[in-house]
Each structure stands twice: as C-alpha cells, then as structure tokens.
C-alpha cells in the first residue's frame, strides 16, 4: 500500500513527468508493476535448478611441429548441464567455457590416434563447472582423431571440368591452375596408394568473360590434403569476324604437266580472338590438289581446300570455293 501511495511521487518529483490523463497514469503504473514482477521472477529463477545446453569451446594444445592432424578436432562440445540458474547467467554474460587438453595426454604414437573416451571428456567438462553441476549429456561424447608424424607426399592434381564459351567467344589459351600439385599426409600404407588427387567436377557454360573460380580437391579417406582448394583461370576472349585474301598453293602436279590456276588466291572469312585481330600471320593454307580434278569432266573448275589454320580460328569459310585451271603438257 505504501508503494502505491508513493507512486504518484515518481511522476511529480524530480523527473517532472506530466501525466495528462488518468488513462496515461494507469498505463505507467501497470508498466512499473510488470518490471517489478519480472525482477522478482528473475531472482527466484536464478536460485532454481535449471537444465540447459551450454557450448564449450574445445582446443588441443601442445601439438608437436612434426605432427599433422589428419582429422580435424571439433571446435566445440555441446553439453547439457543441470545447475543453478545463476551459473548459466555467468556462462552467458561473463565467460565462455573452454576445454583445453594436452596432446601428449591422449595421443597414442603406436596407433597414430588421439583418443578421449566418454569418461575422460566428461571429466574435462566437469573441471569447468561448479561442483554442484551435473553433466547430463555430451555431443560428441568421445573424440577419436587420426594423426601422423610422417612428412607429406607431393602428388599431381587431376582437374575434372567442363568449360564451354558462348558461340561468339573463345577460350584463348590454356586453362591455368594456381598450382599443379598438393601435399598429402597420412600413414605409410595409405600414402603408398595415393599417386594423384582429383577436383570435384566443375562446369561453366556460355562464358563471355575470363573465368576465375576456386576448385575443391575431393577428400581421400584417412588422409589430409593441403591445400584443399586451388584457383582455376580460364582466359576467354570475344571473337571478331575477319576477312583475308590467301594465296593458293598447287600440289601433286605431275612433272610433265604445267598446271595453272586462276585466280591464284581466294578470300576467306573467319572469327578470330579480339587480341589477335590486328596481327597478320601466314597461318592459313589454301591448296588445289591436282589429284582431286576429274580430267574426264567438261568443267575446268578445281576445288579449293583449306588445309591448315590455327585452332583458335572459328567458322572458317571460303568465299571462293573453286578456281579455273589450265593443263598444258611440257
């Protein structure tokens, strides 16, 4: 009752709150009672036994430099704990519980395994809790990690990819990996069986620009691979149409025959990477082969053949597919 009598003073004292209506005053009184009730409930709860999940950080210390952990240790342990509510307030506000264990305490050099059974892990957790606390469950409830003190083995990477460009673009150059090999760590028997590693399948289609992508190395059971990812670079360029007049060479002419063609050159069109458009190279070969001529035919047309051209040129097309010829005996 005294509290109720003092309430008006809260709104008319030094804070100088001005309550303009009885409705506003009632709302403010209600909110004050809610806050006070919540505080009472909170303090009562802190003294009760509560069961709650707590995440403990997990760390293995003192790992020798010559040792490589093949299996990754869990970064955390999920622990279901029964304790006073105040203990959980401590975990959430003032500290993050952490379990640190020495490598040498649980490492078995003969077997090559780091082992913590359920009892050992539970005892390590209890050391971080109050004496009255009860550990209900752990996840994981034990730890088994493979390690090795053998040096790694360098093996090549076999990429698995399918790369396709848009029809107006071209892969102009080799596909490049950031490195061509990785280091593999394991026991002696496993290392002897590993001679290469593979990437997960990578696929890219309709490319219109240079591609850069990280590829993940497929894992090998019982082994650790470093690094686990490599970078792929696929150089892609736009193709531009180009026209060129090429001299025609004559082949397989008999020694007693004078074989004359006219015109002696033909126009070709093709798509070329943009960076090569202004470069003039003698890299396209056109021929007329005497052996392809049908001498019994009344036609004096000889077919023109594209015999050579670089693989980066696309849609190679002859604008003049035949020439006339004259045969004279010598």
Q: What is the pLDDT of residues 21-70, one digit of tens each?
A: 667 767 776 676 666 655 555 555 556 677 788 888 999 999 999 999 99
Give yes or no for residue 285 having a pLDDT over 90. yes
pLDDT digits (tens, 9 = 90+) for 153-200: 999 999 999 999 998 898 888 889 999 999 999 999 999 999 999 999
**Residue of 315, 309, 307 lying closest to 283 (CA atoms):** 309
Confidence category of residue 13, pLDDT binned at 50, 70, 90: very low
State the pLDDT at residue 17: 45
Contact 78, 65 (CB under 8 A): no
Helices 22-46 & 2-12 angle (0-180, nearest 10): 120
| Pick from 1-15, 199-213, 223-237: least confident | 1-15
Handedness of CA 181, 184, 188, 190 (dihedral sign): negative
| Residue 8 vs residues 25, 39, 173, 207, 272: alpha-carbon distances, Å | 9, 21, 84, 75, 89
Q: What is the length of the chain?
A: 330
User: Which pair of structure tokens corresponds to residue 328?
Assistant: 């004279």
Name the 3-class secondary structure at 159. Answer: coil
State the pLDDT at residue 11: 44
Confidence category of residue 6, pLDDT binned at 50, 70, 90: very low
Q: What is the DSSP letter of 150?
A: S
Give yes or no for residue 259 having a pLDDT over 50. yes
**Residue of 198, 199, 202, 200 lying closest to 163 (CA atoms):** 202
How much is the average pLDDT of 254-258?
Answer: 88
25 contacts: CB under 8 Å, gap ≥ 6 = 11, 19
CA–CA gap between residue 307 and residue 284 (Å, rounded): 8
State the pLDDT at residue 23: 73
For residues 32, 33, 36 and 41, what is the CA-based torsion angle, rounded to 10 degrees? -140
Confidence category of residue 328, pLDDT binned at 50, 70, 90: confident
CA–CA gap between residue 328 and residue 323 (Å, rounded): 16
pTM > 0.85: yes or no = no
| Residue 93 vs residues 85, 88, 90, 96, 192: alpha-carbon distances, Å | 13, 9, 5, 8, 51
Count other C-beta atoms under 10 Å from residue 64's C-beta.
11
CA–CA gap between residue 287 and residue 307 (Å, rounded): 7
State the pLDDT at residue 47: 62
Mean pLDDT of the chain: 84
263: preceding bond cis by omega (within 30 degrees): yes
| Residue 81 vs residues 89, 99, 131, 139: alpha-carbon distances, Å | 13, 15, 12, 12
Among all chains, which residue has been given the structure tokens 């050099």?
109
37, burial (CB in 10 Å: exposed 0-12, middle 13-18, buried 19+): exposed
């Amino acid at each position: 009752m005294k509290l109720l009598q003092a309430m008006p003073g809260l709104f008319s004292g030094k804070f100088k709150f001005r309550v303009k209506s009885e409705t506003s005053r009632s709302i403010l009184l209600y909110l004050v009672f809610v806050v006070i009730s919540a505080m009472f409930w909170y303090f009562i709860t802190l003294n009760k036994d509560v069961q709650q999940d707590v995440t403990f950080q997990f760390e293995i210390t003192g790992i020798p430099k010559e040792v490589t952990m093949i299996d990754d240790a869990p970064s955390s342990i999920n622990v279901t704990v029964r304790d006073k509510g105040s203990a959980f307030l401590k975990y959430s506000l003032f500290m993050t519980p952490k379990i640190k264990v020495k490598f040498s305490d649980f490492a078995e050099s003969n077997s090559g395994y780091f082992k913590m059974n359920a009892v050992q892990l539970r005892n390590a957790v209890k050391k971080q809790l109050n004496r009255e606390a009860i550990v209900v469950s752990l996840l994981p409830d034990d730890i088994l990690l493979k390690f090795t003190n053998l040096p790694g083995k360098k093996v090549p990477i076999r990429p698995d990819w399918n790369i396709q460009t848009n029809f107006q673009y071209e892969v102009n150059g080799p596909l490049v990996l950031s490195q061509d090999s990785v280091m593999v760590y394991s026991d002696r028997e496993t290392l002897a069986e590993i001679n290469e590693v593979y990437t997960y399948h990578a696929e890219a289609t309709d490319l219109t620009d240079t591609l850069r992508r990280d590829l993940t190395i497929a894992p090998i059971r019982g082994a650790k691979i470093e690094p686990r990812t490599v970078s792929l670079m696929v150089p892609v360029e736009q193709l531009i149409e180009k026209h060129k007049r090429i001299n025609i060479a004559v082949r397989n002419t008999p020694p007693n025959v004078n074989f004359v063609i006219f015109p002696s050159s033909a126009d070709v069109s093709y798509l070329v990477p943009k960076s090569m458009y202004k470069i003039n190279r003698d890299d396209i070969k056109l021929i007329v082969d005497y052996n392809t001529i049908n001498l019994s035919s009344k036609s004096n047309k000889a077919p023109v053949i594209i015999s050579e051209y670089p693989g980066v040129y696309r849609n190679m097309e002859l604008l003049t597919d035949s020439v006339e010829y004259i045969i004279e005996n010598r």
